[in-house]
Structure 1
Amino acid sequence: MLTPTLLLASLLPLLLLCRTSLCQYSSDQCSWKGSGLTHEGHTRDVEQVYLRCSQGSLEWLYPTGAIIVNLRPNTVSPAAARLSVCIKPSPDSSGTNVYLDRNGRLRLLLREQDQAQGRVHCFSIQEGALFIEAVPRSDISRRITAFQYELVNNKFGAEALSPAAPCQPCSDADMLLAVCTNDFVARGSITKVEQREEHSSVTVAISRLHRQKTQVFVSGGVRARSWTGHIKMPAQCGARAGEGEFLFTGSVRFGEAWMGCAPRYKDFLRLYREAERRGTNPCHMDTD
């Protein structure tokens, strides 16, 4: 039996583009859906898949042979080299092992048995494409490999989503920039902290919602000027309920909010007003 590295080397002359009606892109090339049935009788084929969005999904039914998934931003920019790719397998994903392919050299990223855990796995975009190889089986029915992907800034890539991410305090510059660039910015307090196996889930009550990329925080009603929501953070960060008012900032990954900088609001306000006086604020925020 060929090893994945030898398999890739032997198949390079056979690389094919997606070529049948069973292999489909979404109209904006954000998502791909294919079937291993197209490989029947020629399982040595390797198909090239190109996805060119900041987020999307892949679904490979009845996997046989292998596919190479090239994830790239839809614009050419020097900043693209600093991106990370994060993938989140479906809990039902099975039938393949996932490798990183850089110039024909493979590194195992995700084994078949690990995919059911549904954990986020991240890597630098410069580490290569995804080489997804089917696990040989006589019966491929009910085998589907499926995951979501996102291209993210390295600051919110592998390190930020890791259970072992360090709880380093943000610098003054980090806090001021977070207000301008993060997916959510909200003023509020912590009402509950639940310790999970790999992270803490922080329930927050929001008194002032400055911005949210997606529906992270839910309104208390038409007349209520308050919101509630949940934010994830590494377990060792030691968040506690009822310790005052904070400015919560952070990123949204796969529909979940992850904490970034979260200074006490009074400390942030003092910092913001000093930067405003000096004219060094990167953007304006309504603090009234």
Structure 2
Amino acid sequence: MPGFGRWNNATWILLLGIFHSCFSSYSEDQCSWRGSGLSQQQGSVEQISLHCSEGTLDWLYPKGALRLTLTPRLAPVAAAGPDGGVITACVKPSEQFHGAQLYLERDGLLELLVGDRMEASPPPRVRCFSRTPGERLALFLQATPHQDISRRTASFRYELRGGWMARMALDSNAISREDACRPCNDTEILMAVCTSDFVVRGNIQSVEEDETLRAAVIKVSATRVFRQKYTLFTGSGRLASRGEVRTLLQCGVRPGPGSFLFTGRVHFGEAWLGCAPRYKDFQRTYSVAKAAQQIPCELPVD
């Protein structure tokens, strides 16, 4: 068997390719990527393309850089949306995000989204941004030099939505408090009933504060679940279903009497509030729109 010193350059290139294939992989539907920087040359940039509206990236032992393009296959209606084709994207770094810095690359300019964390630093927060039609966007991960990269992993989850309302974003730097917390108008309420991940009638049992997320957690007792894309509200027998809905802390939600129609999106596995009119107000709005044949979809209201 030949010794290491007798392997030629072609053999080393072949071995490097095999090594790389062991440490870099896509999910079958190209929603996620997992790889290692051990196979990258210092200063090199690996190009990655993911085609789902949500997924993950795990970069072990970061070295060099990654350039990630997100091209989701959104449904035509969602891609157009009420916002003229604007796509909103959010990234949620893992609590142990180390070894790299994450940038948004917009038309050739870099904007820092997530910096490299020190061990004692608080968990990085969710960052959101929007892309207008024709705008070129990518995510750029730059490894930061470390003596010991064996304990470094840069991981995050991402989500992209077509026509996603700004009130759903968690990155308060990207939106004004007034826009995030203002009540929905009649048109927005009717559209939310058709496009939300969940539509639930219920009562507010309590409101708790989550300082880490800078969010208010609304405990909801649901008397009727019209629709839920994910299992968010659960119950058994004659008991009302129960679940949690989050909204921005600065909106100042407080417990109160009466029945509400809760709508919104699922954001990284959690329900986030969109429009939430009092149920009697929704009934009136829906009845007027239905009589005028201006409802975008049917809902079996009482």
TM bin (shorter chain)? 0.7 to 0.9
Q: Per the alignment, in what secondary structure is the counterpart of residue 195 of structure 1?
A: strand
1:60-75 → structure 2 map (5 Å cutoff):
60-74=59-73
Q: Is the 8 A contact 2:107 2:136 kept in 1?
A: no
Structure 1 counterpart of 2:125, from 119, 127, 131 = 119
Using the TM superposition, give the Cα deviation of residue 157 of structure 1 relative to its aligned residue in structure 2, in angstroms.
5.0
* Mapping of residues 94-105 of structure 1, within 5 Å: 94-105=98-109
Structure 1 gap segments, 5+ residues each: 1-17
Indicate whether 1:167 and 2:194 are aligned.
Answer: no
AA paired with 2:183?
P
Deviation at 1:108, TM superposition (A): 1.4
Number of residues of Structure 1 aligned to a counterpart in Structure 2: 268
- Aligned-residue offset at 1:46: 0.7
- Distance, in Å, in 2 between the alignment partners of 1:127 and 1:215 is 35
Which secondary structure state, in structure 1, belongs to the residue aligned with residue 154 of structure 2? strand
The 1:69/1:116 distance shift into structure 2, 3 A limit, reads: farther
Q: Relative to 1, partners in 2 of residues 1:279 and 1:28: Cα closer, same or farther, differing over 3 Å? A: same
**1:155 and 2:164 aligned:** yes
- Match among 106, 109, 113 for residue 110 of structure 2: 106
- Candidates 257, 270, 274, aligned match of 1:260: 274
Counterparts of 1:79 and 1:242 in 2: how far apart (Å)?
37
Matched residues in 2 for 1:109 and 1:206: separation? 37
Matched residue, 1:194: 208
Aligned counterpart, 1:12: none
Matched, 1:206 2:215: no
Report how far residue 196 of structure 1 moved.
2.7
Q: Render the CA deviation track for 1:30-83: whole Å, top value 9, x for unaligned.
A: 0000001112xx212110010100100000000001010111112596639511
Q: CA deviation at 1:101?
A: 1.9
Cα displacement (A) at 1:249 = 0.4
In 1, Cα distance between the equivalents of 2:270 and 2:108? 34
Please give the alpha-carbon distance, in whole angstroms, between the structure 2 residues aligned to 1:246 and 1:113: 41
Q: Which residue of the partner structure matches residue 294 of structure 2?
A: 280
Cα distance between partner residues in 2 of 1:20 and 1:109: 29
Which residue in the other structure is 2:35 paired with?
A: 34
Query: Is contact 2:102–2:141 with CA below 8 Å preserved after alignment?
Result: yes
Conservation of the 8 A alpha-carbon contact between 2:260 and 2:278: yes
Instruction: Return the letter of the residue paired with 1:284.
Output: E
Q: 1:43 is matched with which residue?
A: 42
Shift of 1:264: 0.4
Corresponding letter in the other structure for 1:71: L
State which of 138, 142, 145 in structure 2 corresponds to 1:129: 138
Structure 1 position 154, deviation (Å): 4.7
Partner residue in 2 for 1:25: 26
Q: Percent identity?
A: 44
Q: Say whether residues 1:218 and 2:234 are aligned partners.
A: yes
After TM superposition, give the deviation of residue 266 of structure 1 in Å.
Answer: 0.4
Task: Please give the secondary structure, in 1, of the residue aligned with 2:23.
Answer: coil
Distance 2:263 2:284 in 1: 17
Deviations 1:128-167 (A, max 9, x none): 1011000111210110011110102353358632346431
Could you tell me how far apart the structure 2 residues matched to 1:76 and 1:262 are?
Answer: 26
Q: What is the rounded CA distance, in whole Å, between the counterparts of 1:204 and 1:75 in structure 2?
A: 31
Partner Cα separation in structure 1 for residue 80 and residue 61 of structure 2:
37
For the residue of structure 1 that corresponds to 2:193, the secondary structure is: helix
Greater Rg by CA: 2
Distance of 1:108 and 1:52 partners within structure 2: 23
Q: How far did residue 246 of structure 1 move?
A: 0.3
How big is each residue's C-alpha offset from its partner over 1:11-48, in whole Å with a ceiling of 9 and x where there is no partner?
A: xxxxxxx9623110000000000001112xx2121100
The structure-2 alpha-carbon separation of the partners of 1:120 and 1:233, relative to structure 1 and needing over 3 Å to count, comes to same
Query: 1:86 aligned to 2:85?
Result: no
User: Contact 1:62–1:144 (CA<8 Å) still a contact in 2?
Assistant: yes
CA distance in 2 between counterparts of 1:215 and 1:272 reads 26
